[in-house]
Structure 1
Amino acid sequence: MSHNSLKYQFKKQLIISVGLLVLIFSFLLYQILFIGIGASMHRGMMSMTDHYAQQLEADPSFPLPHNDDFSIYVGRETLPAEIEQMFDIDTLPPFSFSVHDDSKLSELFRPQKITFLETRPLKNNKGILYLVYHDRDPQRAPPPRHGKIPSHLFLQDHPPQHAEKVLPPGPPPKTPLINVPNSIIFIILLATLLVYWIVQRLITSVLNPLNELALMAKSLDENNPELSFSVMQNKTEIGAVAKTLHQTMQRIHQYHQREKQFLQNASHELRTPIAVISSALDIIDLRASQGNHDIADQHINIRRANKNMTEMTSALLLLSDKNRSIRSLDTIDLKQLSTSIIEEHKYLLKDKRVFIDLIGADNETHELPGTLCRIVLSNLIRNAFEQTLSGGVSVDISGRKVLVTNTSSAIYNNEEGEIELEKNYDKGFGIGLDIVKKIVEQQQWQLHFFADVKKGWQVVINFENKTLSDKQ
């Protein structure tokens, strides 16, 4: 696993953060525990000093206890030298509580010896009472709790009338395995295991799907967009991202396919006028070498091919700049424009028995992008002329709607008229149909194809912007 991976960084940061928190809170709990022990000892030793102070004030000859656990001294001069070395007696105020640890209370292991000192002044200036408690052996009984005096002291000062039988000494009690240092170690280990378990679950639910998503992004193939991946079935946001990425790749594939088809059609469509120009130039050269200067017909062919290429390149430029095409509005007479286009393309009907019918009101103008309208109508009329073997071609203009109808024996045996119509149209159109569709989509015009066995092919183009029509 790389040190730069998200999985490694996630593990490291989470373990460090939680580990530090566990250590800090464990140390605080450790300190709070000893503070509580000290407070409890202070209350217990205060109760003991009050008891013995009352006894001494009532009877100065009252016997004071001296044993391994604790001792009571009256007056500074009675204190052992060891106690004076442990505590700065001269600086201790009355009713003070002090603790001396041979090591430190915050060490990881239990101190070998702890000495507690409680001071209390006696009444009538009889000196100061010192209570010293030694905690040497962990197997001994704990110090008094909640202000109670150890039972053996009361037994020494006030022997019971019926003393119970003392049990013979047995094996010393075992030291408990769970103490403060061991508890801290146990908590740290438990927290580490818990953090590791949480990290593993997070990796399983988050980081592993992210890795699968990265592999999916690397494996996506534009030529094979239908390829499916398991991460797409993930129920979290990662699955949604995977599905979106897959859908985006499908759209890219469709876009590339359309662009590929568009370029193929463009290449095919440009090849024809280029061939016409090349052929016309060869004929001109041949006639010139023979002394024949009649080349007017070849000039017409060259100009016609040049005009077709000019229209096509203009359409491509306009389609690449939507705002430019919207701003370039002209006053257009659709009937007059159709008449001009029909005259330009009559050469396609040469040697064909085809009649032309143009229907529409005269002098009816509209504000439309002139170049785009001319490109659309030129392609529709030219294709109608090319596809019509015999019969007629009708151009019916009504307002902004133009209906182009042509008859041809090519569709008489076609049982899937509308579907095959567009396929055949595409074959005859080349890039023309693609350009028309793109222009119509950009300008939000309306284009429909119909096939009828009796009437032939019908194409309806409505130059009315459908968005504006819906708003009105």
Structure 2
Amino acid sequence: MQQLSFKNRIASHYIVTTALLIFVVFFIIYSIVKFSVYSHVNNDITSEVDKHLSEIEIVGNTFHLIHKEEWKEREHNTLDVNPVFIQFVDENRNVIEKSPNLKKSSLIFNENNAENKLFDTKLADNSIRQIQVPIYQKTKIIGYIIIAMSLEDATMVLNNLFEVLLIVYPLILMVLFFIARFIAGRSIKPISSIITTSNIITKDNLTSRIPLPQNRDELYILSQTINNLLDRIETAIEREKQFTSDASHELRTPLTVIKGTLEVLIRKPRNPAEYEEKINFCVTEVDRLNHLVDQLLLLARFENQKQSLKIEKVYLNAIFLDTIARNSTAIQSKNITITTDFSRDYYIETDSYLFLIIVNNLISNALKYSNQNGKLTVHIKSVASRIECHIIDSGIGIPADDLENIFNQFYRSQSNAHPEIKGTGLGLSIVKRLCSLLTIDIAITSEENIGTRVVLSLFEADLK
């Protein structure tokens, strides 16, 4: 069984509800009209009863109409205009007198209906409304006056109304269905855009986005949510592509070097010293590969992780002191003088793990590019409502032309001039991305052969 489309389902549900509502309204209209028509007839009959009871004369156990000319009134003579049928019967139900418009017919006394109660019955196959009222001689019933009025006009009005409602009812529902279907189609038009856009989005085409509706309703939120989802998917796929590209590009060189070294090593027998030298060289390259993979994974991991940050109060002084202690081997090997300038205890609110990566990269870079017997200064100070962390080295410095590129992936300033300084060119790229993630401002100034200054600016934690 074929299912209805979304807009047809909306229209159908609307029509079912509307059909019930219109049915109730039509039923109420019909009931009100019927009540009004019958009330009018009942009032007329009651008026006739009061009128004719006052116009009879009781003599002993008999009675008769005082004014015989009453029968000459049009409603008692004819059947064409609001006829009123009147009949007098004695206590034995024998007809004493009746209106001329009854002719040869007689009103039937209904034993099953209570006295003074109006009820519907038939007169020569015509519908009438009838009442039978007792006539008393003191407390004894000596007869009845039976009055009836035709219901043909009332029945015709009610039948016509019923037919009109019966015809109009499905027509209204049909018109409302198409109107509801049209409105539903207009309302869910953005869904068609969502379907169209979704169909053209592939792994190789992630740039298309769903047009946002003008009205900021649920469909607007849905479209915006899907666009945000597409942004995240595009970012994830681009990050995957970037990682694959970076890995294939950067891993190829050390792997080629290792392969070449081993091929040279097995060409002919060599003495143990040569084997040891080449193996140590390969181990160094493998360590470099491990470090490179770690850096690449770090970049991929923290590309877009703002929602998973663990923000907490961090003791800034301890972060720098612990990082310096972890790099003690490099400090001792170059005999670098470390100076820390902390005028007081400083606290910040950040992700301690990510901030530690930033500081560790900056300190290790400063040590790596420092000269033998150089100096490294870490200075923390308050500036307005922020804290500035200055990391100052006395190393080889960075040329002015290279400063704008130092945050690019795999970019290494003066790599040819200083081949002895190994690196991947990913450290500052990682620092920049993590600073952006943690809303930390970073600035680097440098002079060749004098040194480099890195300044981190971040908000101080409220300890209250």
Cα shift at 1:450? 3.7
Aligned to 2:329: 340
1:304 match: 284
Q: 1:184 deviation in Å?
A: 1.0
Rounded to whole Å, the distance in 2 between the matches of 1:2 and 1:394 is: 81
Match for residue 443 of structure 2 among 448, 453, 471? 448
Equivalent residue, structure 2, for 1:360: 338
Distance in 1, matches of 2:114 and 2:359, equals: 111
Contact 1:421 1:451 in 2 (8 A): no
- Residue aligning to 1:253: 234
Distance 1:6 1:130, change over 3 A: same
Q: Structure 1: how far apart are the matches of 2:45 and 2:158?
A: 28
Question: Could you tell me which residue of structure 1 aligns to residue 164 of structure 2?
Answer: 183
Aligned-pair CA distance for 1:6:
1.6
Q: Offset of 1:198 from its aligned partner? A: 4.3
Q: Quote the offset at 1:117 in angstroms.
A: 0.9
The one-letter code of the counterpart of 1:114 is S
What is the rounded CA distance, in whole Å, between the counterparts of 2:451 and 2:148 in structure 1?
Answer: 118
Counterpart of 2:270 in structure 1 is 290
Cα drift, residue 234 of structure 1: 2.2
Alpha-carbon separation, structure 2, partners of 1:176 and 1:40: 13
Which of 58, 64, 73 does residue 60 from structure 1 map onto? 64
1:291-325 residue CA offsets vs partner (Å, 9 max, x unmatched): 453444334323322333344455647958977xx
For the structure 1 residues 204 and 458, does the alpha-carbon distance in structure 2 shift closer, same or farther, using more than 3 Å as the test?
A: farther
Structure 2 counterparts to residues 381-420 of structure 1, below 5 A: 384=369, 396-399=376-379, 401-403=390-392, 407=396, 411=399, 414=401, 418-420=403-405
Q: Distance in 2 between matches of 1:304 and 1:259?
A: 28
Hey, what does 2:195 align to over in structure 1?
A: 214
Distance 2:450 2:164 in 1: 94
Matched residues in 2 for 1:39 and 1:290: separation?
126
In structure 1, the partner of 2:16 is: 16
Partner residue, 1:70:
84
Q: 1:374 to 1:252 in 2, by over 3 A?
A: same
| Counterpart AA for 1:55 | E
Query: Greater share of helix residues, 1 or 2?
Result: 1
Displacement after TM superposition at 1:95 (Å): 1.2
Kindly provide the amino acid, as one letter, of the partner of residue 402 in structure 1.
I
Q: Determine what percentage of the aligned residue pairs are the same residue.
A: 14
Contact 1:99 1:114 survives alignment (8 Å)? yes
Partner of 2:118: 97
Q: Which amino acid aligns with 2:338?
A: G
1:203 aligns with 2:184: yes
Q: What is the CA distance between 1:240 and its match in structure 2?
A: 4.5
Say if 2:21 is the partner of 1:41.
Answer: no
Gaps of 5+ in 1: 103-111, 144-174, 345-355, 386-390
Change (3 A) 1:215 1:177: farther
**C-alpha distance in structure 2 between counterparts of 1:361 and 1:239, whole Å:** 57
Check 1:242–1:357 CA distance in 2 against 1; reply closer, same or farther (3 A cut): farther
Letter in 2 for 1:77: N
Structure 2 residue 44 is the aligned partner of structure 1 residue 51: no
User: C-alpha displacement at 1:97, in angstroms?
Assistant: 0.8
Residue pair 2:251, 2:289 contacting (<8 A) in 1 also: yes
1:471 maps to 2:462 = yes
Deviations 1:230-288 (A, max 9, x none): x425223223543443344234324432342233223333334434443444454457x
Q: How far apart, in 1, do the equivalents of 2:450 and 2:225 lie?
A: 44
Secondary structure of 1:422's counterpart equals coil
Note if 1:232 corresponds to 2:249: no
Amino acid paired to 2:391: V
- Counterpart Cα distance in 2 of 1:46 and 1:284: 129
Specify the code of the residue in structure 1 equivalent to 2:226.
L
Which position in structure 2 is the counterpart of 1:130?
Answer: 146
Q: Which residue is 1:114 aligned to?
A: 127
How far 1:41 moved relative to its partner? 1.0
After TM superposition, list the pairs within 5 Å mapping 1:271-290 onto structure 2: 271-286=252-267, 289-290=269-270
Aligned to 2:454: 460
Cα shift at 1:57: 2.6
Amino acid at match of 1:267: S
TM-score by length of 1: 0.65
The Cα shift of 1:44 comes to 0.7
Q: 1:224 to 1:313 in 2, by over 3 A?
A: closer
User: Cα–Cα, structure 1 residues 343 and 438, in superposed 2: closer, same or farther, change >3 Å?
Assistant: farther
Aligned to 2:250: 269
Q: 1:250 to 1:301 in 2, by over 3 A?
A: same
Deviation, structure 1 residue 121? 1.5
Where does the alignment leave 5 or more consecutive residues of structure 2 unmatched?
A: 99-103, 303-307, 380-388, 414-423
Structure-2 change in CA distance of 1:216 and 1:134 (3 Å): same
- Letter of the structure 1 residue corresponding to residue 404 of structure 2: I
Cα displacement (A) at 1:10: 0.8
**Partners of 1:317 and 1:209 in 2: how far apart?**
40
User: What's the TM-score, normalizing by structure 2?
Assistant: 0.66
Return the alpha-carbon distance in structure 1 between the equivalents of residues 309 and 254 of structure 2.
27
What secondary structure sits across from 2:284 in the alignment?
helix
Does the residue aligned with 2:339 lie in a helix, a strand or coil? coil
State the secondary structure of the residue aligned to 1:307.
Answer: helix
Say how many residue pairs are matched. Answer: 397
Assess if the C-alpha contact under 8 Å between 1:15 and 1:192 holds in 2: yes
Contact 1:118 / 1:132 at 8 angstroms: preserved in 2?
Answer: yes
Paired amino acid for 1:115: I
Which whole-Å CA distance do the structure 2 matches of 1:28 and 1:38 have between them? 15
Residue type of the alignment partner of 1:263: T
The Cα offsets for residues 126-175 of structure 1, whole Å up to 9 and x where unpaired, read as 31100132345x5xxx89xxxxxxxxxxxxxxxxxxxxxxxxxxxxxxx9
- What is the CA distance between 1:60 and its match in structure 2? 1.8
- Sort the Cα spacing of 1:258 and 1:228 in 2 relative to 1 into closer, same or farther, 3 A: closer
